Amino acid sequence: MSVQLLRKADNTKLGGVTIVHEILAKDSILSYVGFKVIDMKEGAYYEEALKGEECCIVALRGKITVSDGEQTFEGIGTRDSVFEKKPTDSVYVSNDRTFRAVAVEDARVALCYAPSNEQLPTKLITAKDVGVEHRGKYQNQRTVHNILPDHNPSANSLLVVEVFTEGGNFSSYPPHKHDRDHLPEESLLEETYYHELNPQQGFVFQRVYTDDRSIDETMAVEHGDVVLVPAGYHPVGVPDGYTSYYLNVMAGPKRIWKFYNDPAHEWILNRD
């Protein structure tokens, strides 16, 4: 197990706010992606001044009000659990702005960061704006919620998606990577995986490995864990009886998602 790739919750309490995870590019193995998860008690607030970064604020569960000082979005959030499997609301805030999130009720919020040097408009991404797609077949099926996909021009660097995978299936499979700035064949994107499991005592397996095996880690990932993917292939296997949720955050030098399948395993796509 690599302590660099697998992150357990920190749960740092600051009054009515608990910093569950705080993964910053400046002090992690990542250069482009930053990520936080915060829990807020009803009435509590979290405020942050962004400098050279943009942020996508995802209402994982519960309701929050988000303001950038000019616009306010009241009571956003659509679910009490991610396992309701319906899209949620998010807010995109660009660099050099300050945002405040206030909990209308107890809430868990993901904060997704990436470098940004061109200020864009603050934007509410409603649940209705989120594209839903079903990927894979056989035992490789999953449902994807595209919060900030690469065809959405609302961000400078960030890509944000949610993925649901039922027990007995693999996700991010066949193994693929996006660690070379070699377009049009492949783009360079770092990634984080924030995992939840239903029931919560479950686990999934995630392997992160490169062609030269300079990275080759297979991890038992539990509810609330985060996995960092600085490079390499990164499949997820879900045991029978459990449902997997993960929130992906990606960023790199170009805001394009172009992945490359592991040639050793790409053959499974061509089965009848």
Of 13-27, 183-197, 249-263, minimum mean pLDDT range: 13-27
The pLDDT of residue 175 is above 90: yes
In angstroms, the CA 50 to CA 84 distance is 31
Q: What is the pLDDT of residue 28?
A: 86
Q: What is the pLDDT of residue 112?
A: 98
Q: What is the pLDDT of residue 4?
A: 85
Of 21-25, 51-55, 101-105, 206-210, minimum mean pLDDT range: 21-25
Of 3-17, 41-55, 244-258, minimum mean pLDDT range: 3-17
Q: What is the pLDDT of residue 184?
A: 94
In angstroms, the CA 228 to CA 167 distance is 22
Q: What is the pLDDT of residue 3?
A: 54
pLDDT tens digits for range 131-144 = 999 999 999 999 99
Q: What is the pLDDT of residue 272?
A: 67
Q: What is the pLDDT of residue 1?
A: 43
Domains in the chain, CATH or no CATH each: 6-270 (2.60.120.10)
Q: How confident is the model over 64-69, as a mean pLDDT?
A: 97
Q: How confident is the model over 194-216, as a mean pLDDT?
A: 97
Q: Which residues contact 2 (CB under 8 A, 6 or more apart)?
A: 217, 219
The pLDDT of residue 127 is above 90: yes
In angstroms, the CA 209 to CA 139 distance is 21
Task: Count other C-beta atoms under 10 Å from residue 3's C-beta.
Answer: 7
In angstroms, the CA 261 to CA 177 distance is 6
Q: Which residues contact 228 (CB under 8 A, 6 or more apart)?
A: 4, 5, 6, 7, 23, 28, 29, 30, 190, 191, 192
The pLDDT of residue 238 is above 70: yes
In angstroms, the CA 222 to CA 226 distance is 9
Confidence of residue 208 (pLDDT cuts 50, 70, 90): very high
Mean pLDDT of the chain: 96
The two tokens of residue 10 are 């920190």
29 within 8 A of 38, measured Cβ to Cβ: no
The DSSP secondary-structure symbol of 38 reads: E
Q: What is the pLDDT of residue 235?
A: 98
The pLDDT of residue 2 is above 70: no
Q: How confident is the model over 100-116, as a mean pLDDT?
A: 98
Q: Which residues contact 38 (CB under 8 A, 6 or more apart)?
A: 17, 18, 19, 20, 46, 108, 109, 111
pTM equals 0.96
